[in-house]
Structure 1
Amino acid sequence: MTVFHRNETKEALPERLRGGVVAIGNFDGVHRGHQSVLARALELAAARQKPALVLTFEPHPRTVFKPQTPVFRLTPAPLKARLLEALGFQSVIEYPFTPDFSQRSAQDFITSILMEWIGVSEVVTGFDFHFGRGREGGPAFLMSAGARNGFGVTLVDAFRDENTEVISSSRIRTLLSEGAVAEAAGQLGYRYTVEAEVIHGQQLGRTLGYPTANMSLPGEVTLRPGIYAVRFRLENGAIHDGVASFGYRPTVIDNGAPLLETYLFDFSGDLYGQVCSVSFFGHLRDELKFDGLEPLVAQIRKDEEEARALLSGVRPLGVLDEKIAS
């Protein structure tokens, strides 16, 4: 799959991608609600033998408008692209969202991006998609522009879960902040996953017999601190079950920066410098402060047993979960 980064040189879109069916949206999380929009785009593209594309925006618009409070990204751009590839899209177009871009008119978006640059044949998006300066462009504007300019527009209603509640990225962020990773997986359609470079830590785990792969996550990640049953994917694709601690290590250091520390079961080797991913299957407990290292090690043993038991019975939730977390 091609990830095409729009830039100021106005580089032409490759001819093989022009005239496609384009799903438009931020798609942070690529959750089940997003997947209903994406699935419709894939269906139309297959039926018409057109390329299936996704037009999305980087960085997240909320981060641009409120840089002092950047949004907790469920799927940073590289992970989002892999999820979209797994669904079957030929290309992801990552358009830079800047203050200047936010001031462009809705008509300019239609003319310069959708028509002249992409040559779109069909736009598929959510029923509440708005675009252009002051969100002046909405569903009616888009459909009218399509009728005038010869491209189709398909609007997809909000997707509701089994309890008839609308699935949204904000709802999933709330679940993760509560440590409810199993419930979040039900909304996402796959296990919540993070990826980062493995960095050097204090190497205390090694001295305790539990060496960990350490990752520093963005400060805006609001996952609940605690201990989790996880699966760890190496850069080469190999997967190991494990138990991970996310938080501030109260027994070892006070007021440290939050860190994700994963102990991989049945693994030995050097992971430093590799960009790896961690998928969360269950919240085992909150962080605790122990009176010394001996009770800490005893608890780690219990956490390992519980994580092994939980992970032994899991099955993929679907195609995305199989690609990302299994």
Structure 2
Amino acid sequence: MRLIRYLPDGQAFPNGSVLTIGNFDGVHVGHRMVLSALIEQAKSLGLQAVVMCFEPQPIEYFRAEAAPARVSTARDKIEQLSETGVDALYLVRFNDLLANMSAGQFVEMLVQRLNVQLLIVGDDFCFGKNRQGNFEYLKVAGEKYGFSVQRSHSFKIENERVSSTLVRRALENGRLDKVAVYLNRRFSMSGRVMHGHKRGRELGFPTANIRVKNRKTPLKGVFAVTITLESGVVYKGVANVGTRPSIEEATAVLLEAHLFEFSGDLYGQRVVVAFAKKLREEKKFENLEQLTQQILIDSEQAKTYFNQTLTS
């Protein structure tokens, strides 16, 4: 997959493209339905399958700190999209220019820069300043500029429309079983292991400390997790996502993962932490002895969960 961060001055695809546009936050099963249709249509027409996303996401641009937490970071989204088989991803910077672009100017950009021949969009897709453009607008514009438009309908599970909002709500409620269904995989977070205060090592539970890059995290608490190293080796463990109230007064969210049966140096490695089961909420303990006892309990609960999963 080609990753392109700037729109070209001329046409990027002389033979034309099949395009879809959206946030694709989390790349859930509803997104994958759209992407499967995109790839299938592109192959049948002999064109490139292209995805357009924005960074930051438009809701983050307009609402800033009031924007909801992301399901996935930009990096994770890029990796998830690359695994689907699309040919190219335009990760376009959302700025004042795009925010003030009219629906007509936006369509002209798609025609002139991306040579769009077929556009596939979700049933709630809106675009242009003040969200003046929608599916019906695109149908009319397509007749004018010579491209086709297809509507991708909602993907439902148990009569609920699968969306990033639905995934986010399930994460906030600790329903990782539902999240795994919505994503068709376990929810995960990735990042580089950084140096911490080594307090976990002092307590007998060394941790891999990963700074959460998003402004907000969609979940908090203590979890049974798996940790995949750069080598591909997978460890089971327990992880805390939060601000560590028993250790320090902090506002930045940190992901701390304790790997079972691991010894070694992970500093600088990019690891993937997949969340299997929520064990409890994060809380502040009166002293480090209480914290140590709770970590022992958390670890045993995580090990019990994994052992039951293996035997079930």
Which amino acid in structure 1 is aligned with residue 106 of structure 2? F
Partner of 1:130: 126
The alignment's TM-score, normalised by the length of structure 1, stands at 0.87
Partner of 1:38: 35
Q: Report the 3-state secondary structure (helix = DSSP H, G, I; strand = E; otherwise coil) of the residue aligned with 1:140.
A: helix
Is the deviation greater in 235-244 or in 306-315?
A: 306-315
Partner of 2:301: 306
Which amino acid in structure 1 is aligned with residue 182 of structure 2? Q
Q: What do residues 110-161 of structure 1 show as CA deviations (whole Å, max 9, x unaligned)? A: 112x111111121111012111121111101111222222222110111111
Find the partner of 2:215 among 213, 220, 227.
Answer: 220
Partner of 1:86: 83
Q: Report the 3-state secondary structure (helix = DSSP H, G, I; strand = E; otherwise coil) of the residue aligned with 1:199.
A: coil
Rounded Cα–Cα distance in structure 1 between residues aligned with 2:112 and 2:21: 16
1:193 aligns to 2:180 (yes or no): no
Find the partner of 1:57 among 54, 79, 88.
Answer: 54
Is the deviation greater in 232-241 or in 209-218?
A: 232-241
1:289–1:66 Cα change, 3 Å: closer
Q: What do residues 86-127 of structure 1 show as CA deviations (whole Å, max 9, x unaligned)? A: 111121111121122111111111112x11111112111101
Partner of 2:292: 297
Give the number of equivalent residue pairs: 310
Alpha-carbon contact 2:51-2:89 (below 8 Å) kept: yes
Rounded Cα–Cα distance in structure 1 between residues aligned with 2:250 and 2:13: 53
1:274 aligns to 2:269 (yes or no): yes
Q: Report the 3-state secondary structure (helix = DSSP H, G, I; strand = E; otherwise coil) of the residue aligned with 2:225.
A: strand
Sequence identity percentage: 36
Rounded Cα–Cα distance in structure 2 between residues aligned with 1:277 and 1:219: 15
Partner of 1:4: 4
Find the partner of 1:284 among 268, 279, 284.
Answer: 279
Rounded Cα–Cα distance in structure 1 between residues aligned with 2:203 and 2:171: 29
Is the deviation greater in 85-94 or in 267-276?
A: 267-276
Find the partner of 1:26 among 23, 29, 52.
Answer: 23
Rounded Cα–Cα distance in structure 2 between residues aligned with 1:86 and 1:71: 26
Alpha-carbon contact 2:25-2:164 (below 8 Å) kept: yes
Rounded Cα–Cα distance in structure 2 between residues aligned with 1:192 and 1:33: 15
Rounded Cα–Cα distance in structure 2 between residues aligned with 1:223 and 1:299: 24
Which amino acid in structure 2 is aligned with residue 150 of structure 1? G
1:80–1:257 Cα change, 3 Å: closer
CA root-mean-square deviation: 2.2
Which amino acid in structure 1 is aligned with residue 258 of structure 2? Y
Alpha-carbon contact 2:16-2:117 (below 8 Å) kept: yes
Q: What do residues 25-62 of structure 1 show as CA deviations (whole Å, max 9, x unaligned)? A: 11111112222211211221222232211111111101
Rounded Cα–Cα distance in structure 2 between residues aligned with 1:220 and 1:176: 16
Q: What do residues 272-296 of structure 1 show as CA deviations (whole Å, max 9, x unaligned)? A: 2223221111101122444544443
Find the partner of 2:156 among 135, 160, 177.
Answer: 160
- Offset, 1:256: 5.7
Alpha-carbon contact 1:178-1:223 (below 8 Å) kept: no
Alpha-carbon contact 2:242-2:255 (below 8 Å) kept: yes
Rounded Cα–Cα distance in structure 2 between residues aligned with 1:133 and 1:257: 33
1:64–1:290 Cα change, 3 Å: closer
Q: Report the 3-state secondary structure (helix = DSSP H, G, I; strand = E; otherwise coil) of the residue aligned with 1:73.
A: coil
Alpha-carbon contact 1:146-1:153 (below 8 Å) kept: yes
1:148 aligns to 2:134 (yes or no): no
1:179 aligns to 2:169 (yes or no): no
Rounded Cα–Cα distance in structure 1 between residues aligned with 2:52 and 2:252: 35
Find the partner of 2:164 among 156, 166, 169.
Answer: 169
Rounded Cα–Cα distance in structure 2 between residues aligned with 1:232 and 1:243: 9
- Offset, 1:65: 0.8
Rounded Cα–Cα distance in structure 1 between residues aligned with 2:46 and 2:92: 25
- Offset, 1:236: 3.8
Is the deviation greater in 53-62 or in 233-242?
A: 233-242
Rounded Cα–Cα distance in structure 2 between residues aligned with 1:104 and 1:256: 36
Partner of 1:323: none
1:69–1:251 Cα change, 3 Å: same
